[in-house]
Amino acid sequence: MEYKLRNGKIVTIRKTRVEDAQEIINVISTADTETLFLARNPGEFQTTLEKEISIIESVLKSQNSSWFVAEYEGEVVGQCSVGLVRNSQRYKHRAEVAFVLLEKYCNMGIGGKMMEECLKWCVENNVTQVELDVVATNQRALTMYKNFGFEVVGTMPKALKYLDGTFADEYKMVKFL
């Protein structure tokens, strides 16, 4: 789906393709060096092109998840995933979302467009509860999530431990559809 951004340019949010594998690896590897808000330290994301292709193929076959990329000016600049929390019947009303966006493309509206695609997937798949985790100090993400109607429902203290020995709390957020 094509969306017009605040700067008047177009971003395309679309399902991943096998051909995106290397660009996705590049986005995640770069993003890990740009922020402390992701789950890994720089260099911890270790994969091969073959493994990434296999993951993409698996998600493309899945009815319980989806994976989108944000393409801006012909380049993959972010990615997001959405999927059921668990496949058992009692959990099929719940899905989780996760996002990665390169720093220089933040504050353009791309993250919000990725969220829109994830929420569409949830509606199409009868999900009524959308969940995510966010570092408590990630004000930019918190603002976006709250603007989409997510609420903080809990805190995991010291969820992340950084290389310098400091910690960060994470919020569990939920949106009811």
Residue type, 76: V
Please name which of 117, 110, 169, 171 lies closest in space to residue 144, comparing C-alpha atoms: 110
Instruction: Kindly state the percentage of the chain with pLDDT values over 70.
Output: 100
pLDDT digits (tens, 9 = 90+) for 13-22: 999 999 999 9
CB 123 within 8 A of CB 177: yes
Mean pLDDT over the full length of the chain: 96
H/E segment holding residue 113:
helix 110-124
Residue 42 binned pLDDT confidence (cut-offs 50, 70, 90): confident
Residue 40 binned pLDDT confidence (cut-offs 50, 70, 90): confident
Which CATH number applies to 2-130? 3.40.630.30
* Domain residue extents for the chain: 2-130
Residue 95: per-residue pLDDT:
98
pTM, two decimal places: 0.93
Instruction: Kindly state the percentage of the chain with pLDDT values over 90.
Output: 93
CA–CA dist 166, 161 (Å, integer): 6
